[in-house]
């Protein structure tokens, strides 16, 4: 049941406009940084625009901005049933807490991770653009892309996904999840739950 719920969740997220808007925005942002001098993400790559250090820095910085995106993905999972009114049907089935929460979290996290693939993709494609001074390009090192994506960006996406998923589960509110996303200093909430929090019983 776990894998099928995760699969349904992933397919659902891939169909959502949020996924494609995010992928487009992050692709263009990274592509711009990789190909023109007016857009810079971090200070890396003084010589080669696609140097391993520049790739790593771009991944790190963008994965922090990506926090808002993961919030949208994972908080949607939690609030969707109550927002759409499908909740009562869902809660009358035999789905267990583990499958419900972790299955859906896995699906949403995978969607966020897939969407972030546009970042290494944009750097890679950018390195072939004809208007870049060939002096500023080094060889494309596969290791650099793999390391930046899997070792730097992915853990960060997993961490933010988990934090905001937990927050959304407790508050059952998209808005409160965003409020906390914008106030990292407030984790964990020092005053307990936000004032309007009304946790429902587990499904």
Partner 1 sequence: MLIIENLTHVYGNGVRALDEVSLTIPRGMYGLLGPNGAGKSTLMRTIATLQAPTSGHIRFDDIDVLKTPELLRRTLGYLPQDFGVYPRVSAYDMLDHMAVLKGIAGAKARKETVESLLNQVNLWGVRKKALAGFSGGMRQRFGIAQALIGDPRLIIVDEPTAGLDPEERNRFLNLLAEIGENVVVILSTHIVEDVSDLCPAMAIICDGRIVKQGAPNDLVVQLAGRVWRKTIDKADLEAAKAQYQVISTRLLGGRTVIHILADSDPGEGFAAVEGGLEDVYFSTLSTTRRAA
> Are the beta carbons of 9 and 103 closer than 8 angstroms?
yes
The residue (of 86 and 150) whose beta carbon lies closer to partner 1 is 86
Identify the residue among 92, 185, 190, 198 touching partner 1 (CB under 8 A).
92
Please report how close the Cβ of residue 189 comes to partner 1 at its closest, in angstroms. Answer: 25
Whether residue 197 contacts residue 176, with contact meaning beta carbons closer than 8 Å, is answered with yes
Among 53, 80, 132, 147, binds partner 1 (CB under 8 A): 80
Angle ∠(20,127,160) on CA atoms, nearest 5: 40
Selected range binding partner 1 among 36-44, 83-91, 166-174, 181-189, rule: CB under 8 A? 83-91
Instruction: Pick the binder of partner 1 from 60, 68, 91, 117 (CB under 8 A).
Output: 91
| H or E element in which residue 158 lies | helix 154-171
Contact 34/26 with Cβ under 8 angstroms?
A: no
Chosen residue from 21, 47, 64, 90 binding partner 1 by CB under 8 A: 90
> DSSP 3-state assignment of 196?
coil
Binding to partner 1 (CB under 8 A) within 15-44 occurs at: 15-16
């Amino acid at each position: 049941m776990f894998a099928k719920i995760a699969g349904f969740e992933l397919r659902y997220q891939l169909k959502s406009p949020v996924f494609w808007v995010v992928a487009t925005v992050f692709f263009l942002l990274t592509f711009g940084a990789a190909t023109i001098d007016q857009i810079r993400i971090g200070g890396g790559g003084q010589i080669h625009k696609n140097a391993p250090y520049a790739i790593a820095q771009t991944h790190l910085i963008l994965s922090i901005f990506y926090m808002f995106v993961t919030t949208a993905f994972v908080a949607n999972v939690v609030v969707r049933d109550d927002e759409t009114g499908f909740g009562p049907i869902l809660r009358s089935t035999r789905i267990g807490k583990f499958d419900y929460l972790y299955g859906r979290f896995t699906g949403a996290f995978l969607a966020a991770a897939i969407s972030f693939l546009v970042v290494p993709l944009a750097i890679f494609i950018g390195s072939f653009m004809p208007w870049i001074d060939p002096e500023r390009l080094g060889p494309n090192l596969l290791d650099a892309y793999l390391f930046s994506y899997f070792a730097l960006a992915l853990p960060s996406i997993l961490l933010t996904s988990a934090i905001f998923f937990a927050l959304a589960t407790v508050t059952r509110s998209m808005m409160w999840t965003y409020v906390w996303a914008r106030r990292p200093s407030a984790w964990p909430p020092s005053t307990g739950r936000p004032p309007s929090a009304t946790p429902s019983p587990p499904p």
